[in-house]
């Protein structure tokens, strides 16, 4: 275990204890000697961690301290790199650019010994053909974020055009298809619309009634009931 990872694990361990914990207990849990533990605690204090206590009494970490270079373990770094890589390859240009900027910010606060995990991760995302988007996802995302009604021109599965006013509550990304989850005023029910079949979209001034989070819970409940009713006994 590298020194940086060890300090990170020590910080996470101290956060779990609300009362002072002995150095012997911490050393045993981390699998290190007490001498190494005392040196690591001294180093964290030098970096600004508000750790109270001393050998023979115990240690407690005061809340509110966050050490940017130690926010992530090596596995968490690879998970972040994989997730951001997926966003880059599976979403639109705007989200892909945001993912790249986020990756740069993460890299900026990592020490050199961990930064290579972002650049040389063994976890990769394969290429996939993204369906052509007539309407930018950023427009649909804005309607979701602002809880506004959305007027759309849509092509159904048979290619027939239709106009709908919907209350968008979420955007779902699948392997090669993106869908918007919404309440459809025409059908008076939740419906799923493929974003590549939306030919026109206008974010309306009118907000839809209720909170998006509540509607999302209602949709999940409806999905759960539908799945249960389809089970064969």
Question: Whose structure tokens read 């804005």?
Answer: 142
- At 27-76, the pLDDT tens digits run 999 999 999 999 999 988 887 788 888 777 889 988 766 555 556 777 88
End of a domain among 35, 70, 105?
A: 70
Q: Do 171 and 195 meet the contact criterion of CB atoms below 8 Å apart? A: yes
Range(s) of the domain holding residue 225: 137-229
Q: Which residues pair with 222 in a beta bridge?
A: none
- At 85-127, the pLDDT tens digits run 888 888 888 888 888 888 887 777 677 767 777 777 777 888 7
Residues 145 and 221 in one domain: yes
Residue 56 to residue 59: CA distance in whole angstroms: 9
In a domain, 213, yes or no: yes
Residues 84 and 57 in one domain: no
End of a domain among 62, 88, 119?
A: 119
In a domain, 128, yes or no: no
Residues 78 and 152 in one domain: no
Residue 221 to residue 229: CA distance in whole angstroms: 12
pTM, 2 dp: 0.65
Residues 60 and 81 in one domain: no
Residues 66 and 83 in one domain: no
Q: How confident is the model at residue 162 (pLDDT cuts 50, 70, 90)?
A: very high
Residue 20 to residue 61: CA distance in whole angstroms: 8
Q: How confident is the model at residue 233 (pLDDT cuts 50, 70, 90)?
A: very low
Instruction: Find the radius of gyration of the CA atoms of the chain.
Output: 25
Provide the 10 A C-beta neighbour count for residue 103.
19
- Give the angle 217-223-228 at the CA atoms, nearest 5°: 125
In a domain, 125, yes or no: no
Question: Whose structure tokens read 């204890």?
Answer: 17
Residue 190 to residue 208: CA distance in whole angstroms: 14
In a domain, 130, yes or no: no
Residues 149 and 171 in one domain: yes
Q: What is the per-residue pLDDT for 71?
A: 62
Residues 150 and 190 in one domain: yes
Give the start-end residues of each E strand in the chain. Answer: 51-54, 58-61, 148-155, 161-173, 178-184, 189-194, 198-207
Q: Do 44 and 10 meet the contact criterion of CB atoms below 8 Å apart? A: yes
Residues 109 and 182 in one domain: no
Q: Do 110 and 121 meet the contact criterion of CB atoms below 8 Å apart? A: no
In a domain, 186, yes or no: yes
Question: Whose structure tokens read 């979209």?
Answer: 201
End of a domain among 61, 93, 119?
A: 119
- At 173-226, the pLDDT tens digits run 887 789 999 999 999 999 999 999 999 999 999 999 989 999 999 999 988 877
Residues 18 and 61 in one domain: yes
In a domain, 124, yes or no: no
Q: Do 16 and 59 meet the contact criterion of CB atoms below 8 Å apart? A: no
Question: What's the CATH number where 44 sits?
Answer: 1.10.10.10
Question: What's the CATH number where 202 sits?
Answer: 2.30.30.520
In a domain, 131, yes or no: no
Q: How confident is the model at residue 142 (pLDDT cuts 50, 70, 90)?
A: very high
Residues 78 and 65 in one domain: no
In a domain, 26, yes or no: yes
Number of domains in the chain: 3
Q: Do 143 and 203 meet the contact criterion of CB atoms below 8 Å apart? A: yes
The conformation of residue 127, written as its DSSP 8-state character, comes to -
Residue 63 to residue 105: CA distance in whole angstroms: 24
Residues 148 and 211 in one domain: yes
């Amino acid at each position: 275990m590298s020194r940086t990872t060890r300090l990170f694990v020590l910080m996470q361990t101290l956060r779990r204890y609300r009362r002072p914990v002995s150095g012997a207990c911490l050393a045993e849990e981390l699998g290190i000697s007490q001498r190494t533990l005392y040196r690591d605690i001294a180093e964290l204090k030098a970096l600004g961690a508000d750790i109270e206590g001393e050998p023979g009494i115990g240690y407690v970490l005061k809340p509110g301290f966050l050490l940017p270079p130690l926010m992530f373990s090596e596995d968490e770094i690879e998970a972040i790199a994989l997730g951001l890589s997926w966003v880059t390859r599976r979403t639109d240009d705007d989200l892909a650019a945001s993912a790249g900027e986020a990756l740069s910010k993460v890299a900026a606060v990592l020490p050199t010994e961990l930064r290579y995990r972002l650049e040389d991760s063994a976890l990769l995302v394969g290429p996939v053909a993204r369906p052509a988007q007539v309407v930018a996802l950023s427009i649909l995302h804005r309607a979701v974020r602002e809880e506004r009604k959305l007027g759309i021109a849509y092509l159904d599965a048979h290619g027939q055009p239709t106009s709908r006013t919907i209350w968008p509550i979420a955007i779902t990304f699948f392997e090669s298809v993106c869908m918007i989850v919404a309440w459809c005023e025409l059908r008076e029910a939740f419906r799923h619309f493929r974003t590549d079949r939306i030919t026109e979209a206008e974010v309306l001034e009118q907000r839809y009634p209720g909170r998006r989070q509540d509607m999302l819970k209602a949709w999940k409940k409806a999905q759960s009931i539908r799945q249960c009713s389809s089970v064969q006994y």
